Amino acid sequence: MGYFSSPEEVDKYIGEMFRQASDHPQVGPKMRAANVVMKVVYQDPDCEMTVRFADPMETIFGPTAAEPDITLSMPADIADRFWRGKYNLAVGLARSEVKAKGPVNKILKLVPLTKPLFPVYRDLIAQKDAEA
Amino acid sequence: MSDLAATMQAAVFYGPHDVRVEEVPTPDEIGPDEVLLRVERSAICGTDLHPYEGHMELEEGVILGHEFLGTVVETGEAVGQVSAGDVATCACAVSCGACYFCRRGEPGRCAGIRMFGMGMALGDLGGAQSEYVVVPYADRNLRKLPSDATDSQLDSLLLAGDIITTGYEAVKKAFRPGDVVAVVGAGPVGLCAVMSAAVLGASAVVAVDTVPERLKIAESLGATAVTPKEAEDAIADLTGWRGADVVVDAAGHPDALTAIAGYVRMGGTVSIPSVYLQDSLELPWGNFWLKGVNFTMGVTHFNNSMDEVIALIRSGRLDPGRIISHRMPLSQADEAYRLFAAREATKVILDPRS
Ligand SMILES: NC(=O)c1ccc[n+]([C@@H]2O[C@H](COP(=O)([O-])OP(=O)(O)OC[C@H]3O[C@@H](n4cnc5c(N)ncnc54)[C@H](O)[C@@H]3O)[C@@H](O)[C@H]2O)c1
Ligand SMILES: [Zn+2]
Ligand SMILES: [Zn+2]
């Protein structure tokens, strides 16, 4: 089995990280100013999440009518590795493990904002890791 | 790699106009297809100015630099084209060689394109404004340089992984011998396009910029050098009012693209190596459409054109090293960035060994 035991866990950890991102001193203001809607489709467990990078920032777990500008697709395990800082997105795109559609310039702008969130994610999963 | 010092000097990005030279960990691990290179010459490129000027998002802590040459220190077990002690230069944007785009001979569109010193969005590679750099997919992206290359050839070969190949390809892909070429922006890339156009067989080259020192260099390379105000008339005069066959946009400013509509001939080509990251632009579309203009743009296919450029440098027909205006120790990188961004320096080379 993969790292996340259920779709709800994807929301509990990755979704929660995005919710906390809005108040992150370094990247929160940039994310709220990005004016982009990003949908991520995860596999194993299959689920989807939509993040509205706007003010207020909003993270919606599950289907929504919000039209995404950017859509990413990846196995949930790869998302976990990415947020731990252990997965190279460019290599993943070359291997088609991660797929992306939407304006490339908007994607390039969002990626650097993710790094300061790695510690937020690691804090969120610390207890789950300790129990594993 | 155990005999290397644990730390090295590097130029680290902290935000717009904030580049600091710091001690950082020396890379201590390479993959099977990777090479560790000791950097001997490293340039500052106009592309570095995008994050430096705050026009491109880049995370804090990234080691900058992507235009370099150096000596191979160690190779992964799958590397066959270079060995320890070889001097080599490298494509600034490395391609994987295996994806759909690479298989079609379009490495500039590689699905996993990675660029040194440009952060996570471009593959999380440490930059080469540092003492050591790790080169991935090394057999494909590194070029071993002849051991008898002179010091001045090395200055030119250093630029083969980036600006000279960019200027050369920008002209070549749109070009027939005898064409009139206009180059807008006489920065390093534009000057490289000017000298490439001459080598490829242009009948005339016009260079457009506002910086007098840069126009002077363009003139010394055989171009008619003009300001944006004079450009449209100068090009009309040279072409019997027809317009330039090829216009290279090496300025990277929407004003340049707008002006280019008046420079290019009916059916001509606008070749755009300069980087645009805006969501949208307002352009004189009716003029472009009625003229039937062709557009070509994007990241250079370094792997396709580097060997041609290296051969032309070796034979003495291309000499891009002559545009180098400043040589500074890596320890003065912050001042070097300031000079280049203010266009007080045409091209700066940093020496990591000092
Ligand atoms: N496609 C690629 O793979 C690739 C490779 C290298 C560099 N680049 C890009 O090429 C561009 C040029 O690089 P550079 O190192 O020469 O940068 P640079 O900033 O030093 O040079 C740009 C020049 O354009 C001039 N300019 C600006 N606006 C102008 C206008 N409206 N009309 C005429 N001239 C104008 C400036 O005075 C300057 O001399 C940058 O955008 C860089 O990122 C692309
Ligand atoms: Zn460059
Ligand atoms: Zn590829």
Please name the amino acid found at residue B83.
S
Task: Say yes or no to pLDDT of B32 above 90.
Answer: yes
Per-residue model confidence (pLDDT) at position A53:
97
CA count, 13 A, side-chain hemisphere, A111: 23
Residue A115 near chain B (CB below 8 Å): yes
Per-residue pLDDT tens digits for B136-145: 999 999 999 9
Based on the fold, state whether residues B175 and B141 are members of the same structural domain: no
pTM: 0.96
In a domain, B124, yes or no: yes
Based on the fold, state whether residues B224 and B282 are members of the same structural domain: yes
Task: Say yes or no to pLDDT of B338 above 80.
Answer: yes
- Contact at 8 Å (CB) between B192 and B168? yes
Based on the fold, state whether residues B134 and B190 are members of the same structural domain: no
Based on the fold, state whether residues B277 and B174 are members of the same structural domain: yes
Task: Say yes or no to pLDDT of B354 above 90.
Answer: no
Alpha carbon of A114 to those of A23, A130, B337: distances in Å?
A: 14, 24, 27
Please work out whether the CB of residue B186 comes within 6 Å of at least one atom of ligand 1: yes
Task: Say yes or no to pLDDT of B2 above 90.
Answer: no
Per-residue model confidence (pLDDT) at position A132:
81
Per-residue model confidence (pLDDT) at position B1:
62
Residue with tokens 């002179």: B150
The full set of domains in chain A, from first to last, is: 7-125 (3.30.1050.10)
Based on the fold, state whether residues B126 and B202 are members of the same structural domain: no
Single residue among B297, B312, B340 that ends a domain in this structure? B297
Based on the fold, state whether residues B178 and B128 are members of the same structural domain: no
Based on the fold, state whether residues B264 and B335 are members of the same structural domain: no
Residue whose Cα lies nearest atom 27 of ligand 1: it is B251
Task: Say yes or no to pLDDT of B164 above 80.
Answer: yes
Strands A70-75 and A36-43: what pairing? parallel
Closest residue in B to A93 (Cα) is B112
- Contact at 8 Å (CB) between B300 and B309? no
Order the strands of the B7-15 sheet from edge to edge.
B18-25, B7-15, B62-63
In a domain, B229, yes or no: yes
Q: Is B113 helix (H, G, I), strand (E, B) or coil?
A: coil
Task: Say yes or no to pLDDT of B316 above 90.
Answer: yes
Residue with tokens 């390479």: B30
Based on the fold, state whether residues B18 and B121 are members of the same structural domain: yes
In a domain, B311, yes or no: no
| pLDDT above 90 as % of chain B | 99
Based on the fold, state whether residues B110 and B196 are members of the same structural domain: no
Instruction: Give the distance from residue B124's alpha carbon to the nearest chain A alpha carbon, in angstroms.
Output: 7
- Residues of chain B whose beta carbon is less than 8 angstroms from a beta carbon of chain A are 56-59, 96, 98-99, 110-114, 119-124, 277-279
In a domain, B25, yes or no: yes
CB-based contacts of B219, cutoff 8 Å, min separation 6: B207, B225
Residue whose Cα lies nearest atom 29 of ligand 1: it is B251
Contact A92 B96 (CB under 8 A): no
- Contact at 8 Å (CB) between B265 and B244? yes
Contact A105 B278 (CB under 8 A): yes
- The alpha carbon of B111 and the centre of ligand 3 are apart by a number of angstroms equal to 5
Please name the amino acid found at residue B135.
V
Gap between the Cα atoms of A66 and A72, Å rounded: 15
Task: Say yes or no to pLDDT of A1 above 90.
Answer: no
Gap between the Cα atoms of A70 and B300, Å rounded: 25
- Contact at 8 Å (CB) between B251 and B228? no
Instruction: Give the distance from residue B232's alpha carbon to the nearest chain A alpha carbon, in angstroms.
Output: 32
**Segment (H or E) for B182:** strand B180-184
How would residue B271 be classed by pLDDT, with cut points 50, 70 and 90? very high
Per-residue pLDDT tens digits for A32-88: 999 999 999 999 999 999 999 999 999 999 999 999 999 999 999 999 999 999 999
Based on the fold, state whether residues B14 and B123 are members of the same structural domain: yes
In a domain, B162, yes or no: no
Please work out whether the CB of residue B228 comes within 6 Å of at least one atom of ligand 1: yes
Based on the fold, state whether residues B125 and B205 are members of the same structural domain: no
In a domain, B247, yes or no: yes
- Contact at 8 Å (CB) between B194 and B216? no
Per-residue pLDDT tens digits for B106-115: 999 999 999 9
Q: What is the domain-level CATH number for residue B103?
A: 3.90.180.10
Q: What ipTM was estimated for this complex?
A: 0.91
φ/ψ of B183, rounded to 5, equals: -120, 115
- Count Cβ neighbours within 10 Å for each residue of B79-103 and write b for 16 or more, e otherwise: beebeeebbbbbbbbbbbbebebbe
Per-residue pLDDT tens digits for B246-256: 999 999 999 99
In a domain, B281, yes or no: yes
Based on the fold, state whether residues B96 and B202 are members of the same structural domain: no
Count of domains forming chain B: 2
Q: Which residues of A touch B279 (CB under 8 A)?
A: 103, 105-106
Of B111, B122, B278, the CB nearest to A94: B111
Residue whose Cα lies nearest atom 33 of ligand 1: it is B209
Q: Could you tell me the residue range of the domain that residue B289 belongs to?
A: 167-297
Q: What is the domain-level CATH number for residue B173?
A: 3.40.50.720
Q: Which residues of A touch B59 (CB under 8 A)?
A: 112-113, 115-116
- Contact at 8 Å (CB) between B218 and B146? no
Instruction: Give the distance from residue B331's alpha carbon to the nearest chain A alpha carbon, in angstroms.
Output: 26
Please work out whether the CB of residue B217 comes within 6 Å of at least one atom of ligand 1: no
Over residues B32-55, mean pLDDT: 98
Task: Say yes or no to pLDDT of B75 above 80.
Answer: yes
φ/ψ of A105, rounded to 5, equals: -65, -35
Q: Of the bound ligands, which one is closest to the alpha carbon of residue B348?
A: 1
Please work out whether the CB of residue B192 comes within 6 Å of at least one atom of ligand 1: no
Per-residue pLDDT tens digits for B87-141: 999 999 999 999 999 999 999 999 999 999 999 999 999 999 999 999 999 999 9
In a domain, B158, yes or no: no
